Amino acid sequence: MQTFSTTSLRVRDNQLSILDQQALPQEKIWHATPSVASLVEHIQTLRVRGAPLIGLSASLLLALLAENGMPKAELASALEVLRAARPTAVNLMNNLDRMKQALAQENFVAALSEEALRLVAEDKALCDSIATAGSELVSPGSRLLTHCNTGGLATAGVGTALGVIARAHQQGKVANVWVDETRPLLQGGRLTAWELGELGVPYQLICDSMAASLMGQGKVDAIWVGADRIAANGDVANKIGTYSLAVLAHHHGIPFYVAAPHTTIDRLCPNGAAIPIEQRDAREVTGVAGSFGQVQWAPENASVYNPAFDVTPAALISGWVLDTGVVTPDQVAAGFFQPD
């Protein structure tokens, strides 16, 4: 496979490497990822994260394994192992469905490589289209609030919600970005703050619990988030804490936008209640670990509830900003996301 790189993925000498998003922003560490087991570990520990990036990393690894001689039957098994790596982000399933079709071809090695590279190129184009469509919704002088991380670290391109914000900043329309720290893994504080700083976008980092106060003071003009899955009725699964922001935005009359590629739509999932929600390790809540070491602040035997995602009902969403354009609540009510 040809040599190429994105913000978080690179392929050199027929080997996939990933940028460790657990080590950022203090360290830039690239991990060689030669096997299914190594990628599954990276995905589950969130060294690789972001719905689009998870799907792309799995697709690229399958193609490289094929080029390096893995038999067709083993590739089929590897594909299903990767499919189960994280249950909520539907991009992984959608990408692997396309890779499964490539695997069925007679010349499956070439087909897998071509499809994986096509998915990467498509994601870059999708991100650019989302940024173009979304930036038109941003008014000059906007103070925007975002949650989790939706930039180039999570995609092959400029990102989804953060791509919109970056594009609007280039157009001179962003006065400030409020960055939720995003519990429990602080992906806003570690990753979004870092990305915005690299892009020169003015931002202020806040604790998640400060968002309501800012809205009450009239200091938030719109909220932009990404998505890990969009159900057929428009309900959206995203990083835990997104639903809270949507409720607050509704109460304060603030637009609440979801930015995502069409690969995040699950037309066969009827509603948010049918979306599987990943439960994560209690240690992500009872303490913190990073390049600095590990700190435990809760009792050792503390009982913990730690869902990675929550579901925002379609009724609380002002618009779904896709690569195909902005989808309105009326369009969703008329069945835009329903199966054809």
List residues with catalytic annotation: 228
Q: Which CATH architecture has domain 4-128?
A: Up-down Bundle (1.20)
Q: CA separation (Å) from 305 to 24, 183, 217, 286? A: 26, 13, 31, 10
Q: Which long-range contacts (CB under 8 A, 24 or more apart) does 289-296 make?
A: 290/22, 290/23, 290/26, 291/23, 291/26, 291/27, 292/26
Is the pLDDT assigned to residue 291 strictly greater than 90? Answer: no
**What average pLDDT score do residues 59-70 get?**
97
Q: Does domain 139-333 have CATH number 3.40.80.10?
A: no
Check whether 290 has a pLDDT greater than 70: no
Q: How far apart are the first and last CA of the chain?
A: 35
Query: How far, in whole angstroms, is CA 198 from its chain's centroid?
Result: 19
Reply yes or no on whether the pLDDT at 288 is more than 90.
Answer: no
Calpha distance 310→132 (Å, rounded): 27
Please give the pLDDT value at position 100: 97
- The tokens of 312 are what? 């925002």
| pLDDT (tens digit per residue) in 124-141 | 999 999 999 999 999 999
pLDDT tens digits for 75-116? 999 999 999 998 888 899 999 999 999 999 999 999 999 999
What is the rounded average pLDDT for all residues in the chain? 95
Summarize the confidence of residues 52-75 as an average pLDDT. 96
DSSP string for 27-94: ---EEE--SHHHHHHHHHTTSS-SHHHHHHHHHHHHHHHHHTT--HHHHHHHHHHHHTS-SS-HHHHH
How far is residue 34's CA from residue 339's CA, in Å, rounded to a whole number?
37
Q: What percent of the chain has pLDDT over 70?
A: 99
Is the pLDDT at 71 greater than 90? The verdict is yes
For 226-241, what is each residue's pLDDT tens digit? Answer: 999 999 999 999 999 9
Q: CA 156, CA 171: separation in Å to the nearest integer? A: 22
Rounded Cα gap, residues 70 and 63, in angstroms: 10
pLDDT for 48 beyond 90: yes
Sequence ranges of the domains in the chain: 4-128, 139-333
- Euclidean distance between CA atoms 232 and 297, whole angstroms: 41
